[in-house]
A = this chain, B = another copy of it.
Amino acid sequence: MGRWEPNSRARLEQAAHELYLDRGFDRTTVADIAARAGLTERTFFRYFADKREVLFGGSGLLHDLLVESVGAAPASTAPLAAVVTALEAVGDSLFADRRDGARRRQQVIDANIELQERELIKLASLAAAVAAALRRRGVPDPAAVLAAEAGIAIFRTAFGRWIAEDSRTDLAGHVRESLAELKAVTAGG
């Protein structure tokens, strides 16, 4: 199995992001990534099934955390409040101190149509999972679907603002700001 390398996963991820940005996603191989990280391909495959999973492997955890957190909200919590609280929790846990990596990943995605499509599909499946979690709380449709879609729109907006700047506002703070903006937009519509 080779000797233990400290922080291999993060090194592989950073090497992959840099190569995807320099050469393009399509022209980068797993061998390139491992070499740049100073690790073996075998080590790469201990963490990722393929080069696309470097970008999307985290979405399973995001999905699980969101669904769990929506389910754990007090019964009296309104649907969108449950979703927003879950998004704040995700911001605090999953993304804290990971802004540079998140920004690089987004640059990679923005540079490749196929990856953008994959990201859209992941986000749509996240919205569907959140809507299902709301239904299990007894929220009827269309409120469940609309709260889930609104939540994902809030998340995307907050995420985009969080990685666009280096302000001290964390992702959870941007989520709260985006919720306030959405409330203003819908109240005015």
In the assembled complex, how far is the CB of residue A121 from the closest CB belonging to chain B, in whole angstroms? 6
In the assembled complex, how far is the CB of residue A164 from the closest CB belonging to chain B, in whole angstroms? 10
Taking CB as reference atom, which chain B residue is nearest A127?
Answer: B153
Structural contact, B80 and A188, CB atoms closer than 8 A: yes
Q: Which of B81, B142, B160, B189 contacts A189 (CB 8 A)?
A: B81
Q: B residues within 8 A CB of A145?
A: 153, 156-157
Structural contact, A183 and B186, CB atoms closer than 8 A: yes
Structural contact, B121 and A79, CB atoms closer than 8 A: no
Q: Which of B147, B161, B186, B187 contacts A142 (CB 8 A)?
A: B161
Q: B residues within 8 A CB of A187?
A: 183, 186-187
In the assembled complex, how far is the CB of residue A152 from the closest CB belonging to chain B, in whole angstroms? 8
Q: Count of A residues near B, CB < 8 Å?
A: 34
- CB-contacts of A15-72 with B (<8 A): none
Taking CB as reference atom, which chain B residue is nearest A154?
Answer: B146
Q: B residues within 8 A CB of A178?
A: 142, 146
Structural contact, B157 and A189, CB atoms closer than 8 A: no
Query: Within the assembled complex, what's the spacing in Å between the Cα atoms of A58 and B187?
Result: 32
In the assembled complex, how far is the CB of residue A94 from the closest CB belonging to chain B, in whole angstroms? 21
Q: Which of B120, B142, B188 contacts A124 (CB 8 A)?
A: B120
Let me know if A133 is at the binding interface, CB within 8 A.
no
Structural contact, B150 and A79, CB atoms closer than 8 A: no
- CB-contacts of A86-141 with B (<8 A): 117, 120-121, 124
Query: Within the assembled complex, what's the spacing in Å between the Cα atoms of A150 and B75?
Result: 26
A-B contact pairs, 7 of them (CB 8 A): A142-B178, A146-B182, A147-B185, A149-B153, A183-B186, A183-B187, A186-B187
The 10 residue pairs across chains A and B that have the minimum distance between CB atoms: A80-B189, A149-B153, A78-B188, A186-B186, A142-B157, A81-B189, A147-B185, A146-B182, A146-B185, A120-B124
